[in-house]
Amino acid sequence: MPCTFYMLLQSLKQQLIVHRAVLLLGVYLPLQSFAILAIYIRRSSAGFVGDNAILQFLHDSATPQLDQLAGMLTGLGVFWGVLPASVLIGIGLLYRRQWRSLLLLSATLLGSAAINLIAKLLFRRARPQLWVPFLPELDYSFPSGHAMASMAFAAALSALAWQSRWRWPVVVLSGCFVIIIGWTRLYLGVHYPSDILAGWLLALAWSVGVILLTVRSPREEPSS
């Protein structure tokens, strides 16, 4: 009995250490980094260092083939990729009655979208004007909605697959998806690099926070 109690205490201690580490690395540091970046953007009329240079570099390497590829891929960041995939996954979770996982997915994606809308209205940063994009955007630029949606989707998907044998393939593929969507927004000239970075940081902090609050235990939740 004392041995069992000691093992339980050690397990709880390890879980607490992991929880604090995830809270620090996944919520506090991204949120703090976003706050620093946002303050700089708010105060500096010239924008963030390197924003224009990176955009110009990508524009100089543009080709008709890359234009078509970027235009096709960028839609996957929200309406033609993240949104339908999330609905299908949500229906699957609803059918299997995995309520906690459904809550995780819904809160992560809907919360990220709401935060993005509020942040855009708060900062009201204009879109880049270095050239006329062939896929223009009419709303504000900071932070990137596509970057936030792709990051939130990737985080939620990774959390849902974490206890399965598909853990690392999902993490790697979703990470590549996030980077590709970010590249398309920069290549098309509709966002500054700091918009993309801010979107990633803010969505990551929100997503990890939701995951910490909704994941009950390391074991997969029951289906009924």
Any domain includes 10? no
Average pLDDT value for residue range 54-78: 92
Any domain includes 32? yes
Any domain includes 220? no
Q: What is the CATH number of the domain that holds 105?
A: 1.20.144
Position 219 scores a pLDDT of 43
Segment 145-185, tens digit of pLDDT: 999 999 999 999 999 998 899 999 999 999 999 999 999 99
Task: Indicate whether 133 pLDDT > 80.
Answer: no
Segment 38-59, tens digit of pLDDT: 998 888 766 777 899 999 999 9
Position 12 scores a pLDDT of 46
Q: Strand runs (DSSP E) across the chain, as ranges?
A: none
Range of the domain at 125: 19-214
Gap between the Cα atoms of 122 and 115, Å rounded? 10
Q: Into how many domains does the chain fold?
A: 1
Any domain includes 224? no
Any domain includes 11? no
User: What tokens appear for 82 in the block?
Assistant: 């993240």
Any domain includes 4? no
Any domain includes 7? no
Gap between the Cα atoms of 159 and 212, Å rounded? 10
Position 204 scores a pLDDT of 95
Segment 81-108, tens digit of pLDDT: 999 999 999 999 999 999 999 999 999 9
Share of the chain above pLDDT 70, in %: 87
Any domain includes 9? no
pLDDT confidence bin for 224, thresholds 50/70/90: very low
Count CA within 13 A, CB hemisphere, residue 156. 31
